[in-house]
Structure 1
Amino acid sequence: MMQLQLPAVPMAPITSPDIPSGPEWCYQIKWDGVRTLVRLDGKGGVELFGRRLEPRNHTFPEIVSLLEPLRVGPCILDGEIAYFDGIRPNFQRAKLGVRKRAHEDGLIFVMFDMLNSNGEDIRKLPFKQRFEKLQASFPEKMPRLFVTDLHFDGQQLWKWLNDREWEGIISKRLDGPYMEGKKHQYWFKKRKEVRLVADVVGIKQRDGQVSSLVLRYEGRYIGHVSGLDNASKQVLKQFMMAHPGECPFPDLSNGMKKSDVVWIASPFNCRVSALEFTESGLLRQPRLLGFGDGE
């Protein structure tokens, strides 16, 4: 296969609470999927790479099959492998390919940038020109393989996403080059805050004192949350002593195995928010909102 040069790391958007505005900005939907670079040799040869440039052909053979028939010339594409359930992208379903190596007919590949076109490195070109080349190479939107749309009203797109509970928005400068990592001011992301009701299945202690709550959601471990006041800590300490239980998870990370956790026999609900789910399925920067299901 013709070895077109990959970046050391893919360009990454910077998290921001704001959506920049002005004629120099455009916007794309943030698909809730697995970041993927694709290298095509123009003759049916396909290579998939993950965020850390690890080979992914064996974990996503269904995406390889989608790309093999294409004859668009040698190129490098940037996008996301996502699972679309007909209503919105589903990150956990997309992760099945990484975690279980299962065949998923619902997986799609959404393209949003192009790094190399017909053997020419185009990373220094403005995003507007790179995107135009990408659209010209893939003019047809197929159900499972397409270029994501470009929008020019960020606030309107944000409202559309929130109304449908999609993940977020990526703001991009039209004149920005493709730069590795986050050392730039050209791409920004704003995510819809994750809010959910989780089961408290364990209480983590530090120096013999209650420190945080161990959480379960849809049967899996999603991390732990702190932010407890002293009164809550006293009630929780009495509760865990009265309701000792067993760990509900078949496997624990080494960090959790070393932690001082008291598992409880009678889980209860708590409401939490977070920035997002990480690639490993844990809540990023979780915040305790309260107890009960809120109804």
Structure 2
Amino acid sequence: MLPVNQPLQAEGGYVHEIKWDGFRALAYLNGAEVYLASRNGHRLNERFPQIAAELAARNWRAVLDGELVAVGDRGEVDFSLLRSSSTVKEVRYVVFDLLVWEDSMLCPRPWRERRDILEVLFVQERRLLLSPLLPGTLQECLELAKERGWEGIISKHEASPYLPGVRSSWWRKHKIRRTIDGVVVGIRCLGQAVRSLALGLILPGGKLCYVGNVGSGLRERDREFLQEASSLLRVEHPGVVNPPSQDGNWVWFRPHLVAEVEYLELTPQLRLRHPVFLRFRFDKRPEECSAAGERG
């Protein structure tokens, strides 16, 4: 079951949870036999053996739904760690629903009943956690999510059945989007057409670091402006300390233009996740575009 990206008109009957930033996973438990599966049905036992072992130790007959999340050195959830290697040492399975318990199919039952069973069953352990319910209104939860650096909030109706594979308005998602101003360090072209702009941030010490490409959100007039700017700003070599692999489709700029983009996360490796162009910032100077304090 998947949430829809729709605002709540009224909050009556809805509860709010953290939108975890990880791998969605179903856990099929038959005593000591465990099968961890991704949303696409791929087996995850070998990728997350610690989780499979702890689930096997429960000796349950159940089907759980939850999120596999990686935890960084400071205890923060870090999605980039899940992608960085084939195995991850510090990982948690955050459970938020119960589809089957013993011989009972629970999907048709209201969310509140399924949650009550989970709360009786669950003893929090190091790697197995029950997703907490957040107090307060949706707006208060969203403000907390911004403060804590969470991906967003999921709102679920207490009467909701579990609909496998269905995206339903019983569940709503509210993503937190951040904005950042970066230096336009170049453009990527296909023929004469501008496909995306390359963005950079200034590191401590003053050097420019490439943080990613932004194509989403660029309007035709923005692409035309970048094409015109290339005749004035073009340089032979990239001005960043970590240029991407070059395939002949890049045009590099001297640092002059600033762009504001919306994004989901700036990873610890200084890469923007899901950036969307908003506007050019002609009121800002490139030296104001610092990477300091932006990660997470």
Q: 2:293 — aligned with what?
A: none
- Among 22, 47, 66, which residue is 2:54 paired with? 66
Q: 1:143 — aligned with what?
A: 126
- Among 23, 27, 39, which residue is 2:16 paired with? 27
Q: Distance in 1 between matches of 2:42 and 2:255?
A: 39
In structure 2, do the counterparts of structure 1 residues 20 and 38 end up closer, same or farther at CA, with 3 Å as the change threshold?
farther
* Letter in structure 2 aligned against 1:24: G
Structure 2 unmatched ranges of 5 or more = 202-208, 291-296
Q: Is the 8 A contact 1:201 1:248 kept in 2?
A: no
Residues 1:235 and 2:229 are matched in the alignment: yes
CA deviation after TM superposition for structure 1 residue 61, in Å: 1.7
Q: Distance in 2 between matches of 1:193 and 1:47?
A: 34
Equivalent positions of 1:253-268 (< 5 A) are 261-264=249-252
* Letter in structure 2 aligned against 1:68: A
CA deviation after TM superposition for structure 1 residue 219, in Å: 6.4
- Deviation string 1:100-150 (CA, Å, 9 cap, x unpaired) is 21332x211100011111132211111111111122221x22232110112
Q: Is the 8 A contact 1:210 1:237 kept in 2?
A: no
For the aligned residue pairs, the C-alpha RMSD in angstroms reads: 3.2
SS of 2:117's equivalent? helix
- Among 9, 12, 19, which residue is 2:2 paired with? 12
Q: Distance in 2 between matches of 1:271 and 1:212?
A: 14
Q: Distance in 2 between matches of 1:108 and 1:222?
A: 31
SS of 2:24's equivalent? strand
Q: Distance in 2 between matches of 1:205 and 1:219?
A: 17
Q: Could you tell which deviates more after superposition, 127-136 or 206-215? A: 206-215
Q: Is the 8 A contact 2:81 2:88 kept in 1?
A: no
Q: Is the 8 A contact 1:216 1:222 kept in 2?
A: no
SS of 2:115's equivalent? helix
Q: Is the 8 A contact 1:168 1:190 kept in 2?
A: yes
Q: 1:88 — aligned with what?
A: 76
Q: Distance in 2 between matches of 1:238 and 1:209?
A: 17
Q: Could you tell which deviates more after superposition, 264-273 or 86-95? A: 264-273
In structure 2, do the counterparts of structure 1 residues 263 and 144 end up closer, same or farther at CA, with 3 Å as the change threshold?
farther
Q: 2:294 — aligned with what?
A: none
Residues 1:132 and 2:116 are matched in the alignment: yes
Q: Could you tell which deviates more after superposition, 50-59 or 60-69? A: 60-69
Residues 1:51 and 2:46 are matched in the alignment: no
SS of 1:95's equivalent? helix
Q: 1:101 — aligned with what?
A: 86
- Among 104, 108, 123, which residue is 2:107 paired with? 123
In structure 2, do the counterparts of structure 1 residues 35 and 151 end up closer, same or farther at CA, with 3 Å as the change threshold?
same
- Deviation string 1:196-228 (CA, Å, 9 cap, x unpaired) is 455655412245143421457886755535342
- Deviation string 1:32-69 (CA, Å, 9 cap, x unpaired) is 11111111112x22111111111111111222233222
Structure 1 unmatched ranges of 5 or more = 1-10
Residues 1:171 and 2:155 are matched in the alignment: yes
Q: Could you tell which deviates more after superposition, 56-65 or 285-294? A: 285-294
CA deviation after TM superposition for structure 1 residue 15, in Å: 1.5
Q: Is the 8 A contact 1:20 1:171 kept in 2?
A: no
TM-score (norm 2): 0.76
In structure 2, do the counterparts of structure 1 residues 282 and 78 end up closer, same or farther at CA, with 3 Å as the change threshold?
farther
SS of 2:163's equivalent? coil
* Letter in structure 1 aligned against 2:215: H
Residues 1:41 and 2:30 are matched in the alignment: yes
- Sequence identity, in percent? 24
Q: Is the 8 A contact 2:35 2:43 kept in 1?
A: yes
Q: Distance in 2 between matches of 1:274 and 1:199?
A: 15
In structure 2, do the counterparts of structure 1 residues 189 and 213 end up closer, same or farther at CA, with 3 Å as the change threshold?
same
Q: Is the 8 A contact 1:88 1:166 kept in 2?
A: no
Q: Is the 8 A contact 2:194 2:226 kept in 1?
A: no
Q: Is the 8 A contact 2:2 2:168 kept in 1?
A: no
Q: Could you tell which deviates more after superposition, 87-96 or 262-271? A: 262-271
TM-score (norm 1): 0.76
In structure 2, do the counterparts of structure 1 residues 107 and 20 end up closer, same or farther at CA, with 3 Å as the change threshold?
farther
Q: Distance in 1 between matches of 2:232 and 2:274?
A: 29
Q: 1:213 — aligned with what?
A: 197
Q: Is the 8 A contact 2:184 2:200 kept in 1?
A: yes
